[in-house]
Amino acid sequence: MTRIGRTAQADMFRVTEDPRWLLTIDGWNSKWEPAVESVCALVNGYCGVRAAVEEGSSVSNPATFLNGLFDAAHGLVTQAAATPEHQVIAAATPELVKAPDWSRIRVAIEGMPVRLAEDQLLQHGRTLDMHRGVLIREWRVRSGKRTTRLRSLRFASLEDRHLLGQVFELTPEDWSGEVILETVVDGDVTNEGGVRHLVGLQTYQESERLFLSAVTSEKKLSICLGAWARLTTHHGRPIEGAQECGERTLVHRWTFCAERGRSYTAEKLCTLFTARDIPQPAARASELLTTVAATGLPAALEASARAWGRRWASADIHIAEDAVIQQQTRFALYHLIGCANPEDERASPGARSLTGERYKGHVFWDTEIFVLPFFVFTHPPTARALLMYRYHTLPAARDKAHRLGFQGALYAWESTDTGVDVTPPFVFNAAGERLEILTGVQEHHVSADIGFAVWQYWKATNDTQFFLQAGAEMLFEIARFWASRVSQEDNGHFHIRDVIGPDEYHETVTDNAYTNCMARWVLRRGVEAATWLRIHHPEQLTALADTIDLEEEEIAVWSHVAEKLVDNFDSTTGIFEQYRGYLDLRPADLQLYEPRRQTMDVILGWQQLSKTQIIKQADVVMLLVLLGDQYPRHVWDVNYRFYEPRTAHDSSLSASFHALMAARLGDLDDAERFFRKAANVDLNFEHGVTAAGGVHIAALGGMWQALVFGFGGVIVEDQGLRCEPRVPHHWGTVRIPLQWRGEQLYHCINGEQETNPRSAQ
């Protein structure tokens, strides 16, 4: 057994010296606490652990979410939807299952429990050390005449994603007396609305190791959590304790006499496995716990920190002179690194990652358009895993297309582990209006978005094995869907009717420019992929065509549809009409409603809003971000200037792509303003706590894209990467790591000085 002395214990609480790696929350504010728990969550791709205080409080919502572990929520459940003002009613909706709460600590001094809400709080602060992937909390409480200093540290290992660790230190400042300290695993957990997913709980003991096992209520997937703990004095001497297996809890308990000025440190290691990971999770949880308990918590913490260091080496965007932008950037990168697991091809990050229950952990188009590019250019194995998730859910996408009367594959608007669409049917807004949710039956651009992601990954990595195994089939089935989705008018042109584009304030429209142009792009890539396979891998093309019953005549139809599909582009003005008839809507001046704290659908009401040109988020602007290299720069400019004043930015997805486009156009004031707006979706507690339901992972992914493709000016071309940077002078030198076709590159910019990415030396 490794023995830990005072120096080693102190080192564990050491934070990274550079404050730009740290996110510090000083004081205690119950109104902010739900958002703080999300923002400071520990994430490693396998699980996410909210930053709830160990002893709990009236506003605490502790939760550990396991990526890809879904079960059905029965009964009527209330959940916030598109905005905090919306309430969704859903029945039997699959949601991410909460794992047992492993981080609970109970302390009693001379028989009096230490509780945050009851004791006089003298000092309180939490620091998320993003470089090491640890959360450190320090606080002082006064109970009667006793003052106690407390510290804790938690981490979710990036080295072994099934491992969790916790350190808790207690120091009497002005008293000596009896202390009862308990580290607890609580299996009595429920999801939002009181839904209980873990049933059949069993607890048992193996030596000093305690275990809690359960199964999910519907799918009967087994889950096992193992816990080991010990308490030492400031000299590193162990204090004898006891273990207790309750009906739903595991407890390690110590009763000891604490001496004034002396520190006492509890260390706790937990292992967590489910039947999604391995056939016998209990055996694997026991095996891993035995191994890590023997080597000790400090070794596990150091291994995790090294793993974070390796990921940061290929992901960290260094901004020399602007400390705030640097910290905001690292906050985004930290959560992006931790949102996905490269070892799991059957899971994908939900809209709020693994940090909260909003949207029940469902997967949207956000992943492919906003999040995936970060992994494509910094960690391709993770990007591949996320695309393979879509490949494994291809059967459900085919089923959805066929149910709606189309061919090919139409991916779910809201997806879980199976790929079946779980979009709720309706919503009540704050005004009490019942609004039918049409996204699941009309917002079809998700399939084009996934096709775009498949092509982007293949071209950036040269991963031909992926393309032959999965990518080509996905692309063909998506192209097949779009060819069946169009309708032809007498003039020979094709149209796409009854859709919703990225701007969800206008429903059931015809020829949404984003949808049509993305569909056309996918159709052309389908033709191009077939041509490439015919030349380079004819046997694989023949085998795939036989499998999915694809004929040469059908591929020719794709080309014809793409050629005749309208795009709403006016070559005279350079404007894309967002959809047919949009320009006939009533203009509206959004400045008349400023300052505002509510979204425009709440202010105007849905019926009135839909008659105006007010749009929710980037739509045409997003189209030009993704496919803008097909058009001259003046088209970017005229559409940005036309649509931005009409955009309410009522979606967290909007600001980052506006920052990207503004940077490309050289409007650095607008670009930086929108970049900060994207960051403050989660970080500005003063003006809202929208992060209470989890961080907005797509907004964070959009920030990375704004930095790389906007400020960094990186342009992806078939022959390589070209750069036209636009960086504010006060940022100083900016260094962007990128992976391109197996090579590590670094893009360095000094002010607005242009450079091209260079290979690592």
| Catalytic positions | 504
* Angle (CA) 263 103 272, round 5°: 125
Q: Kindly report the backbone phi and psi dihedral angles of residue 527, in degrees, each rounded to the nearest multiple of 5, phi listed first.
A: -65, -45
The whole-angstrom separation of Cα 208 and Cα 244 is 10
Structure tokens at 635: 């088209």
Q: Which helix (H) or strand (E) holds 35?
A: helix 33-39
DSSP-assigned beta bridge partners for residue 759: 745
User: Residue 480 belongs to what H/E stretch?
Assistant: helix 472-485
Kindly give, in sequence order, each residue whose CB lies less than 8 Å from that of residue 539, ignoring residues fewer than 6 positions away: none
With H, G, I as helix, E, B as strand and everything else as coil, classify residue 468.
helix
Helix (H, G, I), strand (E, B) or coil at 47: strand
Tell me the longest C-alpha to C-alpha distance in the chain: 90
Closest CA to 285 of 222, 241, 355: 222
**Shortest CA distance to 326 belongs to which of 20, 748, 23?**
20
Radius of gyration (C-alpha) of the chain in whole angstroms: 27
Yes or no: say if 746 and 737 are a contact pair by the CB < 8 Å rule. yes
User: What are the φ and ψ backbone dihedral angles of 181, each rounded to 5 degrees?
Assistant: -120, 130
Tokens representing residue 128 in the block: 């998320």
Distances 210 to 242, 245, 508 between C-alpha atoms, Å: 11, 7, 56
Q: Which amino acid is at 556?
A: A
How many Å apart are CA 96 and CA 416, to the nearest integer? 9
Q: In one letter, which amino acid is 271?
A: T
Spatial strand order of the sheet with 64-80 comes to 42-43, 47-49, 64-80, 87-99, 426-428, 434-436
> Nearest 5°: CA angle at 81, between 76 and 85?
105
Tokens read off for 491: 């003039």
Compute the distance between CA of residue 559 and CA of residue 482 in angstroms, rounded to an integer: 11
Are 643 and 615 in contact by the 8 Å Cβ rule? The answer is yes
Crossing angle (nearest 10°) for helices 513-536 and 620-627: 20
Q: What are the structure tokens assigned to 535, written together? A: 């030349």
The rounded distance, in Å, linking the Cα atoms of 713 and 661 is: 10
Q: Are 94 and 360 in contact (CB under 8 A)?
A: yes
Nearest-angstrom CA–CA distance, 18 and 323:
10
**DSSP class of 292:** H
Residue 171, H or E segment: strand 163-172
Amino acid at 22: L
| Token duo for residue 510 | 């015809």
Give Cα separations from 228 to 121, 166, 266, 294 (angstroms).
Answer: 30, 10, 11, 10
- Which residues, in sequence order, are bridge partners of residue 223? 214, 274
Cα 12 from Cα 22, distance rounded (Å): 15
Cα–chain center distance at 662: 24
Contacts of 514 (CB under 8 A, 6+ apart): 445, 501, 502, 578, 619, 620, 622, 623
